[in-house]
Amino acid sequence: MPQQTITFGEMRAGGAAGFRLFCSGYKCGHHVVVDADPFPDDVRFSDIEQRFVCIKCGSRGGLPQPCYNAPRPSSYPDYRIDLSEPLP
Ligand SMILES: [Zn+2]
């Protein structure tokens, strides 16, 4: 059975306003804090993780983790998110 990731609604219910995203690129290690506001409550992390493109190394995909105590994130300046296809 595939691993079920949490939804944005569950993340917000837990008090997180955003999430940290770690680049999947080998040796890159880049990470950013992303504001969760644009994402609907019923979207799962696993639905969007392949949409992130690291501007440092160009890798697609990342590992999102809820961000509970960081300053409220404003944007994702170091990541591009591919929303060319509608969210599920
Ligand atoms: Zn990267």
pLDDT higher than threshold 90 for residue 9: yes
How far does the centroid of ligand 1 lie from the alpha carbon of residue 26, in Å? 8
The tally of domains found in the chain comes to 1
Residues 22, 25, 29, CA angle at the centre, nearest 5°? Answer: 50
Domain assignment of residue 50, given as a range: 8-81
Q: What is the pLDDT of residue 4?
A: 74
Q: How far apart are CA 40 and CA 18, in angstroms?
A: 12
**Residue 2: inside a domain, yes or no?**
no
How far does the centroid of ligand 1 lie from the alpha carbon of residue 46, in Å? 18
pLDDT higher than threshold 70 for residue 71: no
**Residue 86: inside a domain, yes or no?**
no
19-51 pLDDT, tens digit each: 888 888 878 888 888 888 888 999 998 888 888
**Residue 1: inside a domain, yes or no?**
no
How far does the centroid of ligand 1 lie from the alpha carbon of residue 28, in Å? 5
**Residue 41: inside a domain, yes or no?**
yes
Of the CA atoms within 13 Å of residue 57, those in its CB half-sphere come to 14
How far does the centroid of ligand 1 lie from the alpha carbon of residue 35, in Å? 19
**Residue 52: inside a domain, yes or no?**
yes
